[in-house]
Structure formats: structure tokens, C-alpha cells
Amino acid sequence: MSVEAITITLVVITFIIYTAIGWWSRVRDTSSFYVAGQNIPAVANGAAIAADWMSAASFISMAGLVAFLGYDGTIYLMGWTGGYVLLALLLAPYLRKFGKFTVPDFIGDRFYSSSARTVAAIATIFISLTYISGQMRGVGIVFSRYLQVDIVIGVLIGMAIVGFFALLGGMKGVTWTQAIQYFVIIIAFLIPAFAISAQLTGNPIPQLSFIGSDIVERLSQIQIDLGMTEYMEPFTNLSMLNVFMMTLALMAGTAGLPHVIVRFYTVKSVRAARWSAVWAIIFIGLLYLTAPAVGAFAKYNLIDTIADQPLEEVQNIDWVNKWETTGLLEFNDENGDGVINYTSGDDNEVMIDGDIIVLSTPEVANLAPFIIALVAAGGLAAALSTASGLLITMTSAVSHDIYYRIFNKNASEAQRLRVGRITLFVALLVAAYVGINPPGFAGEVVALAFGLGAASLFPVILLGIFDKRMNKEGAIAGILTGLIFTLFMIGTILSESIFGTDGPLIESFFGINAQGVGVVGMLLNFIVSFIVSRMTAEPPKEIQELIENVRAPEIDEDIK
């Protein structure tokens, strides 16, 4: 069988399993649709969190970003893992003890305001739409390569599949599906990593071979010979300021991501929420500790295969020909010498989309067709699992937080589910459009969502838990300030790729790029929230007592 046939077979088998799980856990009430009935075991929830976390950005794009950015690419590793620890220790247990369905639910009740709930729901929608566009692009890339269709068709196919899972099972179905998808993702990432590590270094353990062999030195020398910078030389792709700002934006944004926070509502107790966090960080660590090695191995193999080689010879390689068909790998022999000139300068004759690095690596390394198919199935599982969770988050923001909690408090279960499913369909269409027209790699697009989370929701959640004096006026002013500023700056800096202008309206905000500008929005949010809350009336006594109770230690029901 061909690689494509094996891939399609494996993908169909995994999809049958996902569909069976979705059907088994299909929902008929809003509690199951939004928070899985708050009855998911901690281990399963930890696996679901990890699958949600290891999106297309982590599985498909992160190793590619590390491969292309070298040292500077480690910001994604530091930011995302550090942010998860921040979320798990500082926010998640308190939010679970507060006991609501969603982040806007928490903000609306904590700040005793429908207006606060509304602006939080709007921020949730912007964050989730930005985040899901990266996932849809990842799905589109996989289908584009292995079905040999245009990436637009690939995104549309992915849209239909994601919508099916989310519509059928809600959060309950999505959670159990994601728990299974985690194991598909991690097996698909680790097996090729072991194989390539053994092939290049003789050591099958990628983490050990990465630090214990000369692979990085060999890669650096190849890059220097081609006129590039040394692979691990810092601040060559990003300034020191941007490295700091992007890392901080990813960390704070992680703690403000609604679709991750809602995972801690799906368990039955605060203790289970804490154990979910422990299991999730163990599961996440397996991939994140392997990604730097995969990035280096993949780039070494890729450069060694195509650089300074005859163009005609390279284009006859099967995997090269198939990736060229997708438009994500291009050669342009500008000087007409018939040899591929791969450099970082203006005379570069190779265009490699960073999102193909992980997916193409097994083919470049001539691994078994089954491993190639496994990686494709893992990439799809990563993108689909996160996309499903994001759709549920957006749906709950509209149908639960806006429609039910503000406009129609007497809405029946059936009405709320109907509004939720209509919202989900509209969100799918918007996400597909942005996935077809993304402003960067999947990982870069996702980083924008983290910046929005850092600028809008993180400060208000943190102050809502630890500052009793924080009131509704401060929360509303802070969210609006951070969200509007960051959206405006991202739009102006990335105007060329988002709006199709001749160039960006501004290159950066005082040297800070679009992925890091959320930190400025976050600081503005903190400042405005604090000042406005001190200039207006303090919260009611019952709200202050509620916050004291949320922060107070208690004997959990599981261990009484």
C-alpha cells in the first residue's frame, strides 16, 4: 500500500473510534454540553487537558518554529509550559471552588455585573477564534498533503469533522474523545522521534542524544557553510526585548485561556482539579521535552537533503514532489544554475512553510510508511481535539453567558442547546475562513491568541481572586482597555497579512512585535483596573466574603 492509502486507513480507523466515543457520550442537557456533568476522572481530565494543550501549534508547528528560529524558538517551550504551571497553581483550584460553568460566568458573578459578563464573553470569542484558526490550518495541511487536495479543501474537510464531534457530544463527548486523542498524539510524536534519533546519533532517546551528541554542532556548521547564523546563536531572529515579551505573553496568556480553564470545571471537586493539573503536566512534558530534539533533527535532515543539490534531482524525490503539490514547499532557481541555493539571504531559492517540518520529517528520514501515517493521524488528533474544545468554549460564551444569563433567563434546556449549536456552526465558518487566510505559521497565529488572553482575561481573573477591593467598574474598564489596545496593535502590525495591504501600517510597537504586544495590553489592564476600582465604590460585602471563602483552605469532599 502507498503512504497515502495507509494514512487514510489509519485516519479512518481513529475517526471511527472518536465517533463511537462521541456517540456513546452524546448529551441531552446543558451541564453535560458545557462542563461534561462535572464528573470526569482526574486522570482522564489530565489527558484531555494535555490533548487540548498539545494543539496543532504544539504537535505540528512548535518543532518547526524551534527548527527555524533555533535558540529564539525556545520562547514557545518556556512560555507555554511556564504558563501552564502558573494556571495550575495560581488560578485553577480557586476557579473550580467558585464553581461556575465558564470564565465569563466567574467574571459575571464575581463582579456582580451582566456588563462584565458580556465583555468577558466577547474577549473569550476573540481569543478562541484566533486560536482555532491555527488549528484549522493544521487540519488543512494534513488533508492537503495526504489527500493531495488544495489546502482550502483540506480546511473545509476539517471544519466538517470538527463540527460533527462538537455538535454531537458537547463537552462530555469532546473530553472523552480528547483523552483518547492524547495517546494517539503522544505515540505519533514519540515513535518518529525515537527512530530519527537512533538514525542520526545511534541513541534512540531523543532528549539524551540532543544534549549528548554533536548533532547541534553539525547543524550549526551546515548553516554557517550556507551563509546562515549558528543554529543556537541567541537573538538572531528575535530581539532580546521580543524574546522576553513573547515569553511573558505566552505565560500570562496561558493562564487566561478560557478553553483550558473550563477543563477544571469538568471534575467533581477542587482536589480532582489539582490532580488533573498534575496529570496534565506529566502528559504535556512528554512532548515538550522531545520537541527541541525533533526540531534540530528535522532541520538537519531537511538541509542535508536539499541544500546545494541539483534541482531536477531533488524534485524527483517522491516526498518533495508531493509537498510541492500542496504549495507549502517551493523551489525557485532564480540564477538558473540548476542547483538549489538555500540561504537566509535574498538569494534564497527555497520556500519551506514551517508547519510542514514535523509532518514531513518521517518521509525525509525514509521511515516506514506506517510511521508516516501515524504522524499524520497524530497531527489531525492534535488539531481536532483543540478545535473541538475551542468551539464548545465559544458556544458557551454566546448561548450560556450572553443568551441565557443575560437575555433569556427562562430559556429551556432545548432552547439553550439549540442556540449553542447554531453559534457553533457560525463559529466554524469564521474559523475556516481565518484558517484559509492565516497571518502566519500555526504556532505564530496561536501566539496571538495567548497575547489576547494575557491582555484581557488574565489580569481580571487574578485580581478577582486575590483583590477583594476589585469591583465591576475596574473589571469592565480593564478588559476593554487590554482587549481593544491589543486587537488594534495586532491589526496594525499584521495589517499586510490580515487585510492584504501593501505593507504593515507600523512595523512594531516600540520594537515589540505582534506576538509580544499583549504584555503591554496586560499591563494597561492591570493599571486601569486597579485605578478605576479605587476611584469607585467597593464591592458589596457578600462578594468580599465570597472571595475570602474561595481563597480559604478547606477539607475536600474526597478526603473527608
CA distances from residue 301 to 184, 194, 364 in whole angstroms, order as listed: 25, 15, 7
Sign of CA dihedral 11, 16, 22, 24: negative
Model confidence pLDDT, tens digit, residues 16-64: 887 777 677 665 555 555 555 567 788 888 888 888 777 777 887 888 8
pLDDT surpassing 90 at residue 406: no
Among candidates 105, 101, 32, 97, which has minimal Cα distance to 272? 97
Model confidence pLDDT, tens digit, residues 351-389: 888 778 888 889 888 888 898 888 888 888 877 777 777
Instruction: Compute the distance between CA of residue 334 and CA of residue 350 in angstroms, rounded to an integer.
Output: 10
| Per-residue pLDDT band at 498 (split at 50, 70, 90) | low
pLDDT of res. 193? 93
Tell me which H or E stretch contains 254.
helix 240-254
- Residue bearing the bigger pLDDT, 554 or 219: 219
pLDDT surpassing 70 at residue 501: no
Q: 500: buried, middle or exposed (CB in 10 Å: 19+, 13-18, 0-12)?
A: exposed
Model confidence pLDDT, tens digit, residues 434-489: 777 766 556 677 888 899 999 999 999 999 999 999 999 999 999 999 999 999 99
- Its CATH architecture, for the domain 3-435, is Up-down Bundle (1.20)
Instruction: Compute the distance between CA of residue 264 and CA of residue 508 in angstroms, rounded to an integer.
Output: 36
Q: Domain ranges for the chain, please list them.
A: 3-435
The two beta strands, 329-331 and 350-352, are antiparallel
| Per-residue pLDDT band at 557 (split at 50, 70, 90) | very low
Long-range contacts for 363-368 (Cβ within 8 Å, ≥24 apart)? 363/3, 363/318, 363/319, 364/298, 364/301, 364/302, 364/305, 364/319, 365/192, 365/195, 365/196, 365/199, 365/301, 367/192, 367/195, 367/196
Model confidence pLDDT, tens digit, residues 321-342: 888 888 888 888 888 888 888 8
Model confidence pLDDT, tens digit, residues 225-262: 888 888 888 998 889 999 999 999 999 998 888 878 87
pLDDT of res. 478? 97
pLDDT surpassing 50 at residue 117: yes
User: DSSP letters of 498-512?
Assistant: HH--SS-S-S-BTTB
Instruction: Compute the distance between CA of residue 105 and CA of residue 116 in angstroms, rounded to an integer.
Output: 10
Sign of CA dihedral 360, 190, 383, 421: positive
| Residues 412 and 43 sit within 8 Å (Cβ to Cβ) | no
The mean pLDDT of the chain is 84
Instruction: Compute the distance between CA of residue 545 and CA of residue 208 in angstroms, rounded to an integer.
Output: 52
Model confidence pLDDT, tens digit, residues 125-163: 889 888 887 778 777 888 887 777 777 888 888 788 777
| Per-residue pLDDT band at 502 (split at 50, 70, 90) | low
Instruction: Compute the distance between CA of residue 12 and CA of residue 97 in angstroms, rounded to an integer.
Output: 40
pLDDT of res. 197? 93
